[in-house]
Amino acid sequence: MMIPLLMLSAIVLSPSNLLSWMSHSHRQQLPDTRVTVRLQNPNPTFVDVAVDGQIYTVPSHHTLDVKGPAGVAVVAASKIPGHHRGDVLVILAPLLDETTVELR
């Protein structure tokens, strides 16, 4: 019974397994520097916004969470009261992280 256990420990502690374990255990996780902003649509109609070229629809009286790196612009992709199509509504910045922006 002693020999199989010894063989098993040799397999588990082989240099390739040990190196793999060490590289995973010492890998540093980089902090998530992305910014999250909640867009709220209080309007009676839907609103389209473009984030980094991708268009999203925010239904009437609903919200949309946008998460991206600082500097990404949220642009009006449809007519919004007080804004024209193509207007920059908000630029993601660390100061705005975890805030809500009303689309008025």
Residue whose tokens read 């998530």: 32
Comparing C-alpha atoms, which of 7, 58, 67 is closest to residue 37? 67
Contact, 76 vs 83, CB < 8 A? yes
Contact, 81 vs 104, CB < 8 A? yes
pLDDT tens-digit readout, 55-83: 999 999 999 999 999 999 999 999 998 99
Comparing C-alpha atoms, which of 74, 18, 64, 24 is closest to residue 41? 64
The pLDDT value recorded for residue 57 is 97
Q: Tens digit of pLDDT per residue, the chain (104 long)?
A: 444 544 444 445 556 665 565 555 556 778 888 999 999 999 999 999 999 999 999 999 999 999 999 999 999 999 998 999 999 999 999 999 999 999 98
